[in-house]
Structures are given as C-alpha cells and as structure tokens.
A and B are shown apart, each in its own frame.
Chain A
Amino acid sequence: MKVWLYAIRLNTGWVMNISLARELDAQYWKAITSNTTADSPHDRCHHELQRRNTHRRWLRQAWFETKVGFQVGMAVVRLFEKESSALPLDHWQEEEWEQAILAWIRKAQLMLGQQGHRSRKRVDIDHAAIRVSSKTELDLLEAGTCSDTFGHQFKKRSCKIAMFDWQEGASGAVQRENSSEWPSSELDWECSRLSQQLCGRALFESELLSMLSGKGAAWSKGQLHAVIQWGLLNGSLTVHSGVTWPLLEEGQGSMRRNAGDIQAHADSAGKDKGQIPSGAGRRRDIHRQGSFKRSFILVLRQWGLSLFGRASSLTSLCRLVTSGVLRWSRMLWRREKQQLPYCLRCGALGDELQVSACESCGSSRCYTCMACLQLARSRSCALLVSSTWGERRHQGLNDVRHRQVYHWDDVNSLFIYELDTLDLAQHQKASGSPAESSVEVEALLEPYHLAPAQWDASRGALQYLSSRLSKEHSDQGQFLLWAVTGAGKTEMMFPMTAFMLANKKKVCIATPRKDVVLELMPRIKKAFPEAKVVTLYGGSEERFESGEITLTTTHQLLRFRDAFDLMVVDELDAFPYHNNPMLERAAKLACKGGGTFVYLSATPPSALARAARRGQLAQATVPVRYHRHPLPVPKRLPMPPVARMIASGRLPSRVVGALHHAVLRGAQLFIFVARIRHIDGAVALLRKSFPQQAIAGTSAADAKRAEKVLAFRSGEIRILVTTTILERGVTVPKSDVFIWDADNKLFDEASLVQMAGRAGRSKDDPNGSVYFGSSQWTRSQSAATRQIRRMNRLAKRGGYLLAK
C-alpha cells in the first residue's frame, strides 16, 4: 500500500491529508478554490472544513484511525498566497517538515503494531521524501511534476482512467489520458454507484475488482484507487485496513489528536518547531490513570446513590468498593485483549494472525489473517472498503469491535454477555397486551398450512419480530426456535420471511451446508415469487448480487457487513457453526446493529438452552413433529463394544434379535458407529447375520457417499452403516435407528438426539424404534433420553399430540 501524504495550507490553517491518488486531491482542492459560483474561495474553504468538522472527523484523523500500513511520500502545498493569520508552520522549511513527518510516522508505527515490540522498532526514514513549495502550487500534487526522489519511491504511473458503463459493458468506454480531466460530476456519479453497490458489504480491493468485472467494468487498480479516493473525499466510502489494532478506549480522542495533529501542536506550542509531544510513550500511563479515576468516581457515585437510596452500612460500602475494583480489573483485563490486533473482516485474533515482513507496505510486522484466507487475503495493509450509503454511519466500521470483543475465545460466553434482558421484558409486555398485532400475525400464518405446534411457535416468533420492529434498537435481538427433529423447521421460516418482506426488510437465511442451500432455493423462490432471491455458496454465480432474500452458507456471510434485518440461522449446532467462533462473528457482523437473529435448532448449545430456560432469551418451542405423534424414546440395548464384536467375529444374540425384529417389521435400518474404521467390520458382521438384506456402509471418507445415500433413500439399500455425518438431513419414511457404541465420547447429547430423530419421521410410520447399544449408560445417553422425554411431556401438556 502506497499513499501520498500532503499538507495543505488553507486560510484557516494547515490540513494534513493522505491520498491514494494525488491527482484527485489536487483536483478536489482546485474545484473548491476555483468554483466561482459562491462567495470567495476562502469562505468556501472555510465552509468545507466546517462541514467536515461537524459531519466527519478531520480527514487525516479518519485516515489515521483506519490504520492502514503505508509508505509515504510528502508534498507540502500552499493553497493561498495571503494568509489570514500567520501560523508557525508557514515558515517551516523542508527540514522541519521532515522532522515533523518523521515524528508522526514514528508515532504511527508505534501505534500500528509495534506496540510491545520496542526492540524491533524501525522507522523507515527513506520513505519520506518531502518537497515543499513556496508558492501556491497545486501542480506539485499532480503527476508530471514530481521530482526524481519521488519517482524513485513511487514508480511513475500515469493513471489512465477509462470510463465504463457497468451495465452496458465496455461499449461506452471513453479513454482519458489524465484523470484530472475527469469531471468531478462523473466521478461523483461513479462513486455513488460504487457506494450503492457496496452497501451492506465490506470488500477488499481484489474482491471489488472481481465484483466490478462481474458487472462488466474491467477497472484497473489505479482507476479503482481514484474512485475510492474520491469517495473518501466526499465521504461516501470508508476505508479500513484488513487487520487492525484497537486503540485504547479511554482517552482515545485525545490520543488521536496528539498523534495526528500537527496543526494543534503548532498552534499551541508555537516556537519550538519540529518537536511534537510524544504521546505514544506516555500513552499507557495516561490511560491507566484515566480508567482508574473513572472507576473510582463510578464507585463513589454508586456509593452516593446507595446512600440516598437505602440505609448505608459499612458492608454495603465494602461491597461496592470491591465490586468497583473487580470491574476495574476486569476492564483492564479486557483491555489487554483489546490490545491485540484483530482481523476486521472475521474478527480473528491471536494465533490466527500470521506476522511477516511485507513487501507491499514495507512493514516488518504485517499481519495476515489465516482464518478467512479462503475468501481473500486480509492483511494489515489491505484496504477493506465499505460504503456509507443509506444510513451514513459516521463511526464506520469502528463499532464492530464493541460487538465482538467479548466472545472471541469462548462461544459459550457469547450468550451470557449479550443477552438482551431489557428487550425480553419489553417483548413480554408487548406480546401480552396488544390484540391488534395478533390479527395481522394470524393472517400471515394462514397460507402455510402449519400444524398447531408450529403455528404457536411461529406466532411467538412473529410477535417477537413485530415488537422488535416497533422500536429502534441499538443491539441485536435473539430468538431461539427450538424445534424437535422432523418438526418442519423450513415451513416455519416462511411466515417470518413473509413478515419481514412485508415490512421492507432484508432477510438472510444461513445454513451450514451447501446442499441445504440448493434444496431450499426452489422452495423459497416458489413461496416468494415477487422477491429477489440470491443464493450464495462456494463457487456460486451470484456472489456479489443483492436481493431481498439471501440464502447462504455461513462462510459467505463474511463478505457482508450490517446488511440484514433478520438473520435466520438454521442448525445452529451443526458442523461448521459449532465451535467456530469465526462464523459466529461473521453472522453477528452481517446482521444490522438493530437486527434480529432467529436460531433454529433441535439441539441448541447448552449455553443457549440454559439462557432460554432461565427466561433470559426469547424462545419458542415446537415439542412435536408435524404429524403430531410423540418422538420415539430410545431404548437401551446392552452390547459389547463394536471393536470387540468385530474381533470376535459374531454379533450377540440380543443384538441380532433386535435387528431381526426391525427387519421383519419392514423398516430400513440406520446403524451408527463411532469410528470410520469400524464400518467395514460392522458391514461384514451384519452380512453374516442377514445374508438376504442389502447392506452398505458409508462415511466421510467414502467417494460414493452421495450415491449410497440416494440408494438408501430409494430403498435399495436396507441397512446402512454410517458415522455421525448422516446424523441430520437424511429422511427415510420407515426407519429404525441403532446406535452402536453409544457410550463413545464422540456421541454427545446433541448428536444422540439428532440420530434418534432419524426414526419415525413419516406420517405412516410414526413409531420407529431407537436403540442405544452400549455397555455403559453414560451421561450423554441419559441426557438425550431425558431431553426427548421432556419434549414429549411438553407436547402432551400443550395438547399438541393426536388423541389416541
């Protein structure tokens, strides 16, 4: 990443700015000064600066906050001959500028990741090549006039900008020799288009280029930079580095001001030029003091409150002080974590970031994110471009951090920290009182032919959604839809989607697997013919499309930022989502700040289930299948471990008896084993006992898995031996389930419940049987049985079961 740094003298003072394409900056300032429609250029400049001051931060600071690693060339330009007030900086010569810039760079480097690595501190002096113009000379910024020292560092590239129409393709292309001829109106237009396209996304340069070429505009990197720079100048785009460092929370503003602001210093410290207060070294102490003071004040205030509120005693004071200290230490601890660099796209930090010397930014410690490497390389020096289209969030991506700091290390802690208890109370209030919303809700539920249990749960979900919509929320809402296996989760997505679409909101349905996406797509398209449905998965064509409904695999969510109002997460506990904090964060970031999550699961993670049970999380339960028969309760089948059975070469008579019973019943059999290596042995054993049956085994290592599963579905294979890979998604009308080695630690409660859920799914044969075959009765087996029994009990109590 190479950028230009320039200082420009306006009538009010000096502004330091960083530019991707310096010609455009020259053009920008020229446009401001030469525009004669308004009053004098001085005033316009003043207005311009004021506008920036009020609406956005100073550009240089904004750039500094983006923390993009860079190499620097410097130009100092005076915009006006006459200065209204003399500033000390006006008399600076090249040496002084150089010193000041070096100090600035040194500080920037300190902040940009050489924190804590003082020994490796290195300042690249030769990167700062400085030219100061004595007169008003905007040309210095432009291409032709740069001196040889500049040219050496920055290879002269005459930036040829070609205009393309995105929709019409390259036909309307107009070649322009120099970008300065590009009228600002067209640039504005291109920019707003780009920002419109980027809305709800955060993309890297390479992804942007491929997006543009997908839309028929083959832009070069220089052109892209020009448009991005224009977007930065007029505030329609924001830029961040791929891997970034959280600055310290306390005193952040003042620190930034110290680091970025030459002007402030020059104004205040007048005479001793070239020396800038070194904020970087003292930063830590300052912030410690600040936070301590703050927490102390907090404690005092609490104490004061409690003095007012209730009778004070020494113990309550002690408690308050200790709690304050605890909070303080926790804040410190949290801040320690916040010091670490993290990937702005996927939120990874720690070991997932790789440090290396980088040739593109010249830094010796450039971080690369390994977690989201499959999409595009996220580096310290890569530009992550996002737009401010629509809401124009001024804080840009910075608030991302606040949403994701707490749960990076522990999936379980996420839910405990982020419960929106307040919301829940409101929701309960809302759902209790208004009758008029329920009418509307009923009307929405009508066309989908839901079973009573589904109906009730969907109504709960819709009421939650409408209570969320009725008020602006700053935090993300969560709703757990706990539906047993075979309850018809997909049907329950439809009313929610319809509700959000009716309110002109964007919906995303995220599922862990690609085949589920492909299976869902036609159903969704049929249910919502008027809405635009975008399907995203690895290698999909519609990668950069956007529509009202987005059907996606969880990995693709990394490309979105603040895009969706409703995020339906299917199979929360399934393979890629479970224990993968990256995807968790991706989902959090893709959802809007005030958006809502709906988790669909038959076996929610324990933390979520606990929160729901305690009433801290809004939830609805569907305890019965759509055919309104109870779930088959697993039976215990004592049997030796599979390895021993294979070694001895025979099945115990009890096992054969149970199998025989199922086969006689005419059911197809799922036999789950814990290990892939047991499959062949188990198949051989079964073939010995049941020579007439078609028996097959499949696993993740099997190349013909899809065909075998198809054959099993069609009934050609009667007995299928498999591992946990088939624990969800496969539905066979009449089936019995045997789980061998159910005491194996690979089979936890969730997977046991899921496997048991393979039996009795159809209306015709609701009473399949499930056997847990094991030599020991383990906790997860009893918990799974308990969960299934509980669901049946709930169903009975709710009156959802068919009368016998």
Chain B
Amino acid sequence: MQMQSSWYERIAAPRSSTCLACSRTIPYYGDLEELKAEQWRRSLCPSCVERIPFIEEVGCSSCGRHIRCEDCQRQPLQQYGLAYNRSVVQYQEHMKEWLALCKFKGNQSIAFVMAGMMIEQYMPLSLTAKVNKPTRSSSDWWSMLKEWWNPESIIEYPDLVTYVPSSLERLEERGFNQAELLAGTLAKAWGRPLLNCLDRTRDTGKQSQQSRAGREQSLEGTFTWNQAAFQGIRFYMARQLKPYLHILLVDDVYTTGSTIRACARALQDGLRELHIQGMVSSYTWARA
C-alpha cells in the first residue's frame, strides 16, 4: 500500500477490497491503477487464483496448447508466417466467465489481471519455443554459463507489440478492444512500442458464433495493413541496429487460430512489402 498523505487519509483508508472476479472480500490492495502488473494476484481472492488453469506444460510446441494438437500437424502455423503461439491459461468454464465479464459486461479491470498473468508467464512460455533458443557456438562459454545459470536471461522481449484489431462497429458498441488493453499493458511493462499495425476492413460477425470452416472463409482479406503503421515501422527500424524484427501479436483467446493466422499472414505480407525480415509470434491469454 502506498503511504497516504495525511493522517486522516491514513486512518480512513479502507481495510478491505473485493475480489475482481467473485467480489469476495480480500485485503485492501489500493488503487488498481497503481498496482504493478506483477501484483495482479493481490486483486483476486486466493480461491480464484488457485482455480486458474495455467498451461504449465506446453503440449504442442507450435500453438502452445496444453495437449498435443492435430490442427497444427494438418496446417502448420509456419505456413501462415506465424512462428509460434503461446497462451497462459486453458480456456475452461471458469476462464470463459472471466472473459465474458471483461468483453460483454465491460469490466475492464479484469483485462488488467489478464495482462498481469500474461506478463508473468511470458518468460517461461517463450522458453519452450525452439526459435528462441540461440544457436550455440561451443566457444562462447559465457553465454552457456549464463543460460545454465538463468535460462530466462537469453530471451529477449519482442521489438514491437501489436494486437488483433476489432471492427469499428464493435469498438463503438463495447467502447474498448480487449486485445488492445492487453497489448497496451504488455508493451508498457516491457517498454516496447505498441503499434496498431492492422485494420479490420469489415465486420465478420461474432467469431464465437461460427463454425470452423465459416471462420476461415469469412476472415479472408479482412485484415489489411494500417498505412500509418508503415511509417512507424520504418521509423523504428531506422533507429534499430539489428536487421530483423520480432512482432508480438496479442489477442485474448486462441480457439481455432483462424483470426490469428489471418492476422499473421497480413503482417508478413506487410513486412515483405517493406523488405524487412521479421518474425511474428502470437501470445494469447487463453487457449481452447
């Protein structure tokens, strides 16, 4: 808790807050805006934290599912220009409620908790991706030692953070884009730029109400590059020493992956147009 300014505020500070998910009484944690992202657990009650189904072991190295998945064998993500996907939690009933609370009821503080979880789990999850392991030269004993001592230190944060855009109508209806909220918090925590790379040219209806084939079909050509983002990327690359770019695509949930695939393809197309070598990986909060 932050020190309050005057004696009155100090004695009048509330002693308890409510859990964001189940509104049970928990110890006071202060203002949500002042809470650091790593402290997301403080805004939930212990039983809610306990029930979060984290993906502790990645079953599919490409899409980050907790069990092996046939989708990725049938249609590898690499076809679409997506290096890998990682997700924090399994998309179970409990988590569905959370997302509904955020998306449909408009409780934006849940998005903060979700982003906190994503920040916390980014390192261990991205360690499981092969792309992130450096090609080891035997002479470089120092990096070997570093990796052995602290494996997370060799992972670099992405250069750019972007998100899956939502259509204008949806944005107007909800007032916010939950993927943007997540991406914004991640970018802020890592000190990386948040760039709105993509535009959604048409509304495809709610994804959650469509079948798999329908999703794939309806998404074709939906995402295009934002012209302003080209400028941003050029500007960014001009100041950058390394010649390649790692873009992280953030979304709330990965169900069949069709949205993310479409986005990744659009991103890669744009990068090709710019003649920039880039890697696109995606990071979602939940994986069905």
CA distance A155 to B107 in the complex (A): 27
CA distance A428 to B75 in the complex (A): 83
B176 with A354: CB separation less than 8 A: no
State whether the Cβ of B175 lies closer than 8 Å to any Cβ in chain A: yes
For B168, what are the chain A residues with a Cβ–Cβ distance below 8 Å?
155
Which of A47-55, A101-109, A355-363, A430-438 is found at the contact surface with chain B? A355-363
Interface positions of B from 103 to 157, Cβ below 8 Å from A:
105-109
Which of A140-148, A373-381, A531-539 is found at the contact surface with chain B? A373-381
CA distance A381 to B171 in the complex (A): 13
Chain B residue at minimum C-beta to C-beta distance from A206: B173
For A444, what are the chain B residues with a Cβ–Cβ distance below 8 Å?
none
A366 with B175: CB separation less than 8 A: yes
State whether the Cβ of A370 lies closer than 8 Å to any Cβ in chain B: yes
State whether the Cβ of A368 lies closer than 8 Å to any Cβ in chain B: yes
Q: Looking at the assembled complex, report how far the CB atom of A204 sits from the nearest CB atom of chain B, in whole angstroms.
A: 12
A359 with B175: CB separation less than 8 A: yes
Chain B residue at minimum C-beta to C-beta distance from A205: B173
Interface positions of B from 4 to 37, Cβ below 8 Å from A:
none
For A358, what are the chain B residues with a Cβ–Cβ distance below 8 Å?
175-176
B107 with A359: CB separation less than 8 A: no
A356 with B172: CB separation less than 8 A: no
A356 with B108: CB separation less than 8 A: yes
Chain B residue at minimum C-beta to C-beta distance from A360: B175
Could you say which of A2, A354, A360, A361 contacts B108, with CB atoms under 8 Å apart? A354
For A155, what are the chain B residues with a Cβ–Cβ distance below 8 Å?
168
Interface string of B153-182 (1 = CB under 8 A from A): 000000000000000100111111100000
For A381, what are the chain B residues with a Cβ–Cβ distance below 8 Å?
175
CA distance A2 to B172 in the complex (A): 9
Q: Looking at the assembled complex, report how far the CB atom of B183 sits from the nearest CB atom of chain A, in whole angstroms.
A: 14
CA distance A354 to B108 in the complex (A): 8
CA distance A385 to B198 in the complex (A): 36
CA distance A373 to B102 in the complex (A): 11
For B173, what are the chain A residues with a Cβ–Cβ distance below 8 Å?
360
Q: Looking at the assembled complex, report how far the CB atom of B176 sits from the nearest CB atom of chain A, in whole angstroms.
A: 6
Candidate in B106, B108, B177 with the most chain A CB atoms within 10 angstroms:
B106
CA distance A357 to B107 in the complex (A): 13
Q: Looking at the assembled complex, report how far the CB atom of A210 sits from the nearest CB atom of chain B, in whole angstroms.
A: 13
Chain A residue at minimum C-beta to C-beta distance from B32: A354
B171 with A368: CB separation less than 8 A: no
CA distance A111 to B138 in the complex (A): 67
How many A-B contacts if CB must be within 8 Å?
Answer: 36
For B108, what are the chain A residues with a Cβ–Cβ distance below 8 Å?
354, 356, 368
B106 with A368: CB separation less than 8 A: yes
CA distance A299 to B174 in the complex (A): 52
Q: Looking at the assembled complex, report how far the CB atom of B26 sits from the nearest CB atom of chain A, in whole angstroms.
A: 14
B106 with A360: CB separation less than 8 A: no
Chain A residue at minimum C-beta to C-beta distance from B17: A351
A354 with B175: CB separation less than 8 A: no
B175 with A373: CB separation less than 8 A: no
For B105, what are the chain A residues with a Cβ–Cβ distance below 8 Å?
373-374, 377
Q: Looking at the assembled complex, report how far the CB atom of B181 sits from the nearest CB atom of chain A, in whole angstroms.
A: 9
Q: Looking at the assembled complex, report how far the CB atom of A180 sits from the nearest CB atom of chain B, in whole angstroms.
A: 24
B109 with A359: CB separation less than 8 A: no
For A360, what are the chain B residues with a Cβ–Cβ distance below 8 Å?
171-175
B109 with A379: CB separation less than 8 A: no
Chain A residue at minimum C-beta to C-beta distance from B31: A351
Interface string of B82-108 (1 = CB under 8 A from A): 000000000000000000000001111
B106 with A373: CB separation less than 8 A: yes
Chain A residue at minimum C-beta to C-beta distance from B172: A360
CA distance A377 to B101 in the complex (A): 11
B109 with A354: CB separation less than 8 A: yes
Chain B residue at minimum C-beta to C-beta distance from A359: B171
Chain B residue at minimum C-beta to C-beta distance from A157: B169
CA distance A377 to B176 in the complex (A): 13
B106 with A377: CB separation less than 8 A: yes
Interface string of B192-203 (1 = CB under 8 A from A): 000000000000
CA distance A392 to B180 in the complex (A): 44
Q: Looking at the assembled complex, report how far the CB atom of A252 sits from the nearest CB atom of chain B, in whole angstroms.
A: 29
Q: Looking at the assembled complex, report how far the CB atom of B48 sits from the nearest CB atom of chain A, in whole angstroms.
A: 15
B177 with A359: CB separation less than 8 A: yes
Q: Looking at the assembled complex, report how far the CB atom of B199 sits from the nearest CB atom of chain A, in whole angstroms.
A: 14
Q: Looking at the assembled complex, report how far the CB atom of B163 sits from the nearest CB atom of chain A, in whole angstroms.
A: 13
Interface positions of B from 169 to 224, Cβ below 8 Å from A:
171-177
B106 with A359: CB separation less than 8 A: no
Chain A residue at minimum C-beta to C-beta distance from B173: A360
Q: Looking at the assembled complex, report how far the CB atom of B126 sits from the nearest CB atom of chain A, in whole angstroms.
A: 29
Q: Looking at the assembled complex, report how far the CB atom of A709 sits from the nearest CB atom of chain B, in whole angstroms.
A: 24
A356 with B176: CB separation less than 8 A: yes
For B177, what are the chain A residues with a Cβ–Cβ distance below 8 Å?
359
CA distance A381 to B173 in the complex (A): 11
CA distance A359 to B175 in the complex (A): 4
CA distance A147 to B137 in the complex (A): 63
Q: Looking at the assembled complex, report how far the CB atom of A409 sits from the nearest CB atom of chain B, in whole angstroms.
A: 12
CA distance A361 to B174 in the complex (A): 11
CA distance A366 to B175 in the complex (A): 9
CA distance A374 to B97 in the complex (A): 13
Interface string of B51-87 (1 = CB under 8 A from A): 0000000000000000000000000000000000000
Q: Looking at the assembled complex, report how far the CB atom of A665 sits from the nearest CB atom of chain B, in whole angstroms.
A: 41
CA distance A24 to B18 in the complex (A): 46
For A366, what are the chain B residues with a Cβ–Cβ distance below 8 Å?
175
For B107, what are the chain A residues with a Cβ–Cβ distance below 8 Å?
354, 370, 373
CA distance A370 to B106 in the complex (A): 9
For B175, what are the chain A residues with a Cβ–Cβ distance below 8 Å?
356, 358-361, 366, 379, 381
For B174, what are the chain A residues with a Cβ–Cβ distance below 8 Å?
359-360
For A368, what are the chain B residues with a Cβ–Cβ distance below 8 Å?
106, 108
Q: Looking at the assembled complex, report how far the CB atom of B12 sits from the nearest CB atom of chain A, in whole angstroms.
A: 12
CA distance A361 to B173 in the complex (A): 10
Q: Looking at the assembled complex, report how far the CB atom of A336 sits from the nearest CB atom of chain B, in whole angstroms.
A: 14
CA distance A368 to B177 in the complex (A): 15
Q: Looking at the assembled complex, report how far the CB atom of B15 sits from the nearest CB atom of chain A, in whole angstroms.
A: 14
Can you offer 24 A-B residue contacts whose CB atoms are under 8 A? A155-B168, A354-B107, A354-B108, A354-B109, A358-B175, A358-B176, A359-B171, A359-B174, A359-B176, A359-B177, A360-B171, A360-B172, A360-B175, A361-B175, A366-B175, A368-B106, A368-B108, A373-B107, A374-B105, A377-B105, A377-B106, A379-B106, A379-B175, A381-B175
Q: Which residues of A contact B (CB under 8 A)?
A: 2, 155, 354, 356-361, 366, 368, 370, 373-374, 377, 379, 381
In addition to A358-B175, A381-B175, 17 A-B residue pairs with Cβ atoms within 8 Å of each other are: A155-B168, A354-B109, A356-B108, A356-B176, A357-B176, A358-B176, A359-B175, A359-B177, A360-B172, A360-B174, A361-B175, A366-B175, A368-B106, A370-B107, A373-B106, A373-B107, A377-B105
Question: 3 closest A-B pairs (Cβ-Cβ)?
Answer: A360-B175, A358-B175, A377-B106
